Amino acid sequence: MEIEVKFRIDFNQARAAIESLGADFVREELQEDLYFSLPPHELLRVRRISNLGRSFLTYKRIADPGRNEEFDEIEVEVSDFDGTVEILKRLGFREDIWIRKRRLVYRLDGVTFELNEVEGLGAFLDIEVISDNVEEAKRRIWEIAKRLGLTEDDVEPRLYQELIREGKGK
């Protein structure tokens, strides 16, 4: 299970705070995500990471709809973004929403920080732990979030797709 909490942040301020915790910088990713229409609480995405020349096919089931912090995720790398999109279209899936972002990834003691600048929506920080122990994972996420000065008020529970659909960009 992928457990993550998403916060609205100031990009540079959050970056400095994460670095001052001693987190390791892992990589930068320029992501282009194409989501397909699926029933509620399921996500189907093809992601191109243009600066790394890699693409991924991902299915997610949202285990806690509304809060959107717990995801049952299956992901495989694919050799070809366009071919994968074409296969899904042939299978009858409809393109829904594109999301483009710049992401910096940091890691500290099994916790992953994804610092995102999302086109049209602003800056967000995902703090993520992979674990089957949801309670323990959330405890660790919030322990670190507090050290970064983040509170429940900074949480953004909506998916990027929902934010784009609602036109709630800054």
Of the pair 17, 62, the CB lying nearest its own copies is at 62
Q: Measured from the CB of residue 147, what is the shortest distance to its own copies in angstroms? A: 34
Contact 114, 128 (CB under 8 A): yes
Of the pair 53, 74, the CB lying nearest its own copies is at 74
Q: Measured from the CB of residue 87, what is the shortest distance to its own copies in angstroms? A: 4
Residue reference for tokens 């397909």: 36
User: Rule CB under 8 A: which residues touch its own copies?
Assistant: 38, 42, 44, 57-59, 61, 74-80, 83-84, 86-87, 90-91, 93
- Give the pairing of strands 42-49 and 54-62: antiparallel
Of the pair 24, 64, the CB lying nearest its own copies is at 64
Contact 107, 101 (CB under 8 A): no
What DSSP character marks residue 157? -
Q: Measured from the CB of residue 85, what is the shortest distance to its own copies in angstroms? A: 10
**Chain centre distance of CA 54:** 17
